[in-house]
Homo-oligomer: A and B are copies of this chain.
Amino acid sequence: MGYFDSASSAPLHPVARQALQASLDEGWADPARLYREGRRARLLLDAAREAAAEAVGCRADELVFTSSGTRAVHSGVAGVLAGRRRVGRHLIVSAVEHSSVLHAADAHEAGGGSVTQVAVDRAGAVNAGAYAAALRPDTALACLQSANHEVGTEQPVAEVAAVCQEAGVPLLVDAAQSLGWGPVEGAWSVLTGSAHKWGGPSGVGLLVVRKGVRFAAQGPSDERESGRAAGFENIPAIVAAAASLRAVRAEAAQEALRLRELTERIRARVPRVVPDVEVVGDPVRRLPGIVTFSCLYVDGEALLHELDRAGFSVSSGSSCTSSTLTPSHVLKAMGVLSEGNVRVSLPFGTPAEDVERFLEVLPGAVAGVREKLGAPVTETVVRDDVLVVDSLGKLCPIPVIELAKVIGEVPVGGLVRVLADDDAARLDIPAWCEMRGQEYVGEEPAEKGTAYLVRRVS
């Protein structure tokens, strides 16, 4: 059994389970009440807040518990935008933020605000200069994840925070993927987190707003959690979240070394055992437990299915999977291959044997999917010195497979014109060219779909 998708949700940490069970008897009453059961609940809530604040590196009165990481992001973004409305309605986000941040940005835009997306490099990282360039006099808020959830790349949060601080603009850091590993460095203003990512229970998020940041909670008023998180507090889960954050932090330094070695094995060996693979994300500045690669000529969902049958649970940024944004906006922003994409995110405590077994199983799984997809090119027409591949009506990764099959049929310097109507081709054909050292000339509208032009270079 290899559950390798802790970036989606981690199994419950034993300390979380213990704390949850222990506080079910003490934490069910209303902490706003003055009788004994209420006072007991309040004590648990206060202690959990202190513990979480210590782990985050903030004051207890700066931290509230929300019902999820997504809620923390939605409330945090909306609260700062409203609090700083007089400054302006401009919002900056990176192009590779979690969907919760991008959806909050969409909502802001729909409400009349403006949004700038900061681009990333091929490793998935932003740079502080790009944030500096995006800042405007009417910028109310900038958002940057601490590390990317799909490829593990760490962002230069401290540098971006410094740039924002100089401009007097608060920076909201979505720390969902990294908070279990350590506090976020730098002069951030708002921070969000999600307990089930570090082995805490579902139903608990963190929203930290530094003193001095103008914040106006949105939505109907509610006096709980400083007015920033409506609804009755889920105290047993909050206690479990705080306890497990402390527990994973105590093991973090050692476990980071161990998991980094395991993901390094995957990074190094996958390209050796699987042909036509691109490992994506920053090889050095990255989270310990995440490694992501894309396999040419592979349908992501079919590969996930094969791996599931072999006992491995991973996720994919390819289209046709049940993820939020398809194909992955992260891979798209990085300009890397999205087809046959696999994200491995190892939970705390993953045994090395499981990773070894995964590396044994993977080549056969990829080969099996490729074999099933190995359809012959249905029609090729040489028109002048251009070879036309008609992939209309065919889904990713077929257009790329057909391109690869015919590239050898045109002379060096000749063109292949791929007709396709699956949008994934727009990402995958340039990425294939990059991997294969061929020249991607560009796209143009065709009678049906889009024509993608590739010049044979070698």
Contacts and interface: CB of A to CB of B under 8 A. Distances in A.
As for how many copies of this chain the complex holds, the number is 2
A221 interface: yes
Contact of A231 (B27, B69, B222, B223): B69
A69 B33 contact: no
Nearest to A1: B36
B107 A231 contact: no
A333 to B, nearest CB: 19
A318 interface: no
Contacts of A71: 67, 230-231
Interface in A1-60: 3, 5, 8-12, 17, 20-21, 24-25, 27-30, 32-38
Interface residues of A, number: 67
Interface in A87-140: 99-100, 103-104, 106-107
B17 A29 contact: no
A321 interface: yes
B70 A67 contact: no
Contact of A219 (B38, B107, B235, B237): B107
B35 A11 contact: no
A395 B35 CA distance: 22
Contact of A21 (B21, B35, B221): B21
A165 to B, nearest CB: 26
A324 interface: yes
A202 B31 CA distance: 12
Q: Which of A107, A205, A220 has the most CB of B within 10 A?
A: A220
A74 interface: yes
A-B interface, 9 closest residue pairs, ranked by CB to CB distance from nearest: A68-B231, A67-B67, A203-B234, A35-B313, A103-B220, A202-B234, A70-B231, A107-B220, A203-B203
